[in-house]
Amino acid sequence: MSDLKQLYLTMRAALAQAVSTIVPVHDVEDVVQETYVRLCLVKNQEQITHPRSYLYQIAKNVAKDRVKAAGFRLSDSLEHQPELVSDQSDEVYRAAVSGEEFVRFCEAVRFLPLQCRRVFVLRKVYGFSQKEIAQELDIAESTVEKHIAQGLKRCAAHMTPTSGATSLKRENHDQ
């Protein structure tokens, strides 16, 4: 077994932890395994001067590719199934499913604190129940509820025009 593959085996847990900040919890193991597959495809392993950094970079690239693919799947599936987005009670989600608003929504989610983002994505993107999220992340259901509320609040604030712009619109309208 090559030194690089042996290093991979010793770094599996560290790689999993590194990608857990990028992908949902249930995708972490797939990303780590895909990292190994890509490692096996490297032809000139002896030319790698920083093997630990190299492994981390492969894992992060695989994770980012998975997030991009999930984003495309989400937007494609929502465009072709309008009945999925007809929930009138979730204003932030409804606003997020339209073109430019969706990009702003994704940006807002990226700015959420890590644990809040994990909970929010599992709930809003993957459709997990609060109980499933609590079990998956090993946290209390009340904590899940708080993270979802915080995520909704922060995303709504990020997507709402600034109060300065709103007051300018009012001033122009009053004239």
Integer Cα distance of 30 and 36 in angstroms: 10
Task: Tell whether 128 and 148 lie within a shared domain.
Answer: yes
Task: Tell whether 74 and 55 lie within a shared domain.
Answer: yes
Integer Cα distance of 44 and 146 in angstroms: 49
C-alpha angle 67-128-60 in degrees, rounded to nearest 5: 20
Task: Tell whether 76 and 119 lie within a shared domain.
Answer: no
Per-residue pLDDT 10s for the chain (175 aa) are 578 788 888 999 999 999 888 888 888 888 889 888 888 888 888 888 898 999 999 999 988 888 877 665 544 444 444 444 444 445 555 544 555 666 777 778 888 898 998 898 888 777 888 888 999 899 999 999 999 889 888 888 877 765 444 333 333 344 3
Give the contacts of 57 (CB within 8 A, at least 6 positions apart).
none
For residue 167, tell me if it sits in a domain.
no
Integer Cα distance of 71 and 62 in angstroms: 14
